[in-house]
Chains A and B, each alone.
Chain A
């Protein structure tokens, strides 16, 4: 543990250092408060022994600065003083000192006071560690709860939207067919125009007027296009619903065994064009894990989404690292890119449906949400480690044998 010793007296500093080193402390010496303050800022210091009276910045001021500093972790401060009046001690403690030693210091007393400080720092560190774990657990819990309710919402939506999609798709097909026939009919009628003009000139004129009003030529050309565009828009809606179903895990595919390594190779081949466009070097480490019992199509979908995201996030000419490992129960896949990375806020929302950082039209924001649903459904875990501008690692754990599932289950974890 680092101890910062601040004293304007060289003898005093040397003496304290001589005490402290054999007890196992690393000692940083400062000849005044100013130097001590800059050492405190640049080094990791958790114990400070400081003289009160020093030139420039004195001990009290140093203590006040340290207490006001936003640096995380507690710093234990002992003030060395020749003063022993009660008011002086109150002043020192109020400035933020934890303890004080009256000079000249007794060696044993220095030792026990430092041990006391060390004990408090250790306790504080343990507490901070536990707090951090608690926060992480809480965040994970909130995340999975949130995704579970989103899953229920998605399931309900997918079900309700399915019927209208079904008949509107059908209607469009019927309209396309019947419009074709109507067009043929109208074309035939066109041939009767000369006869009509002779037989009923008024009717003929009216007909020409109507044709002009609706711009018949445009209708003949463009109506099929209008239907075509509606049909492809609808197909997109249908895909979104299918993806939502996957996220909500409504559909059940057959289970089969699959080798993760081969699946990764297949995925890389599928994404070969994008990988080459960015000139990425793909490094695959495969420990040749035992085959997985899973829904192969769904797991392929997860691999595709995860690797596609990694490719898209990669900076050109960088590396893409894929590792396949195993422990006793699970196969573990790690996909690491060295690309843009993400902020913590982004990382926290990655699995939410419709959350995307891609431009409008390039991603539906469902890839990772769907992957989450599938992995959880297989009794696995999916997690993300990321650093902004450094890259992202997606970790997927899949048990070799998935747990049995109940019918009609929605996204819970």
Chain B
């Protein structure tokens, strides 16, 4: 855990990635591969993973499916509920694919990949996941500020002098604002 914090302080500009696997060799190997492109955190169980998520903003979480006590699919459903911004990936041996495919359909996974993975493909996939996270965050920020802006705008028009603005303009403006609000509500409802 200490190591993780040190990394977090040193490399702040890279996307943060949490890898969960009960086999330390797998974790070490992946850290070696990914440390250049990501700020990598590791956890050896689902419970440990949830602790890390509490302490650090995690952009992408990748977990093994087959672990004692909490499976990857179980962990992902907790993450989805508690840390919805994190992009979720499961990597698994072939035998578990059925459970994982089910999880993709019901649990909103970003991807799954099979062990053994191709190192280059893995890096690309994770970069894609990080970009996806940035997009989603940027989008959420855009929506939030737009919503803020619309609130301010409609407050402003209420207090403004309608004679200066021209007849019907205030009414028109309120209509436009309301329409934008509706669009925004639709988009947020869909995402």
Q: Residues on A close to B: CB < 8 A? A: 159, 162-171, 173-174, 178, 238, 245, 250-252, 407-408
Cβ B93 vs Cβ A159 within 8 A: yes
Cβ B117 vs Cβ A166 within 8 A: yes
From B32, which residue of chain A is reached at the shortest CB distance? A174
Interchain nearest-CB distance for A316 vs B (Å): 41
Q: How many pairs, one residue from A and one from B, have CB atoms within 8 Å of each other in the complex?
A: 56
From A155, which residue of chain B is reached at the shortest CB distance? B95
Task: Give the residues in chain A near B97, CB-CB below 8 Å.
Answer: 251-252
Contact stretch, chosen from B22-30, B46-54, B125-133, B179-187: B22-30
Cβ A159 vs Cβ B95 within 8 A: yes
Interchain nearest-CB distance for A93 vs B (Å): 69
Q: Tell me which of A163, A165, A170, A407 has the highest count of chain B C-beta atoms within 10 A of its own C-beta.
A: A170
Interchain nearest-CB distance for B129 vs A (Å): 18
Q: Which of B32, B95, B116, B120 contacts A166 (CB 8 A)?
A: B116
Cβ A238 vs Cβ B116 within 8 A: yes
Bound Cα distance A174, B122 (Å): 12
Bound Cα distance A159, B95 (Å): 8
Bound Cα distance A159, B25 (Å): 16
From A169, which residue of chain B is reached at the shortest CB distance? B116
Bound Cα distance A162, B23 (Å): 12
Bound Cα distance A355, B117 (Å): 29
Interchain nearest-CB distance for B72 vs A (Å): 14
Cβ B98 vs Cβ A173 within 8 A: no
Cβ A170 vs Cβ B119 within 8 A: yes
Task: Give the residues in chain B near A168, CB-CB below 8 Å.
Answer: 29
Cβ B95 vs Cβ A163 within 8 A: no
From A250, which residue of chain B is reached at the shortest CB distance? B95
Cβ A170 vs Cβ B30 within 8 A: yes
Cβ B32 vs Cβ A162 within 8 A: no
Q: A170-B30, A252-B98 are in contact. Are A165 and B120 (CB under 8 A)?
A: no
Q: Which of B25, B93, B95, B120 contacts A167 (CB 8 A)?
A: B25
Cβ B117 vs Cβ A170 within 8 A: yes
Q: A166-B26, A167-B29, A170-B33 are in contact. Are A251 and B94 (CB under 8 A)?
A: yes
Task: Give the residues in chain A near B25, CB-CB below 8 Å.
Answer: 163-164, 167
Bound Cα distance A166, B117 (Å): 6
Cβ B119 vs Cβ A169 within 8 A: yes
Bound Cα distance A167, B119 (Å): 10
Q: A162-B93, A173-B33 are in contact. Are A167 and B26 (CB under 8 A)?
A: yes
From A165, which residue of chain B is reached at the shortest CB distance? B116
From A235, which residue of chain B is reached at the shortest CB distance? B116
Q: Residues on B close to A: CB < 8 A? A: 23, 25-26, 28-30, 32-33, 93-95, 97-98, 115-117, 119-120, 122
Bound Cα distance A238, B117 (Å): 11
Task: Give the residues in chain B near A162, CB-CB below 8 Å.
Answer: 93-94, 115-116
Bound Cα distance A169, B98 (Å): 25
From B35, which residue of chain A is reached at the shortest CB distance? A174
From B123, which residue of chain A is reached at the shortest CB distance? A173
Task: Give the residues in chain B near A166, CB-CB below 8 Å.
Answer: 26, 115-117
Task: Give the residues in chain B near A169, CB-CB below 8 Å.
Answer: 116, 119
Q: Tell me which of B93, B95, B120 has the highest count of chain A C-beta atoms within 10 A of its own C-beta.
A: B95
26 A-B contacts (beta carbon < 8 Å): A159-B93, A163-B23, A163-B26, A163-B93, A163-B115, A166-B26, A166-B115, A166-B117, A167-B23, A167-B30, A170-B29, A170-B32, A170-B116, A170-B117, A170-B119, A171-B32, A173-B33, A173-B119, A173-B120, A174-B29, A174-B119, A178-B32, A250-B94, A251-B95, A252-B97, A407-B98
Task: Give the residues in chain B near A165, CB-CB below 8 Å.
Answer: 115-116
Bound Cα distance A177, B185 (Å): 48
Task: Give the residues in chain A near B120, CB-CB below 8 Å.
Answer: 173
Cβ B94 vs Cβ A245 within 8 A: yes
Bound Cα distance A167, B120 (Å): 14
From B31, which residue of chain A is reached at the shortest CB distance? A174
Task: Give the residues in chain A near B116, CB-CB below 8 Å.
Answer: 162, 165-166, 169-170, 238
Interchain nearest-CB distance for B8 vs A (Å): 22
Bound Cα distance A78, B26 (Å): 82
Task: Give the residues in chain B near A407, CB-CB below 8 Å.
Answer: 98
Q: Tell me which of A165, A167, A169, A408 has the highest count of chain B C-beta atoms within 10 A of its own C-beta.
A: A167
Task: Give the residues in chain B near A171, CB-CB below 8 Å.
Answer: 29, 32
Task: Give the residues in chain B near A252, CB-CB below 8 Å.
Answer: 97-98
Interchain nearest-CB distance for B33 vs A (Å): 5
Q: Tell me which of A162, A169, A174 has the highest count of chain B C-beta atoms within 10 A of its own C-beta.
A: A174
Bound Cα distance A252, B28 (Å): 31
Task: Give the residues in chain B near A174, CB-CB below 8 Å.
Answer: 29, 32-33, 119
Interchain nearest-CB distance for A233 vs B (Å): 14
From B98, which residue of chain A is reached at the shortest CB distance? A407
Interchain nearest-CB distance for A168 vs B (Å): 8
Interchain nearest-CB distance for B136 vs A (Å): 28
Bound Cα distance A163, B122 (Å): 16
Task: Give the residues in chain A near B117, CB-CB below 8 Å.
Answer: 166, 170
Task: Give the residues in chain A near B93, CB-CB below 8 Å.
Answer: 159, 162-163
Task: Give the residues in chain B near A408, CB-CB below 8 Å.
Answer: 95
Interchain nearest-CB distance for B114 vs A (Å): 9
Bound Cα distance A174, B34 (Å): 9
Interchain nearest-CB distance for B165 vs A (Å): 64
Task: Give the residues in chain A near B119, CB-CB below 8 Å.
Answer: 169-170, 173-174
Q: Apart from A167-B23, A167-B30, A174-B29, what are 8 other A-B pairs with CB-CB below 8 Å?
A: A159-B95, A162-B116, A163-B23, A166-B115, A167-B25, A167-B26, A167-B28, A173-B120
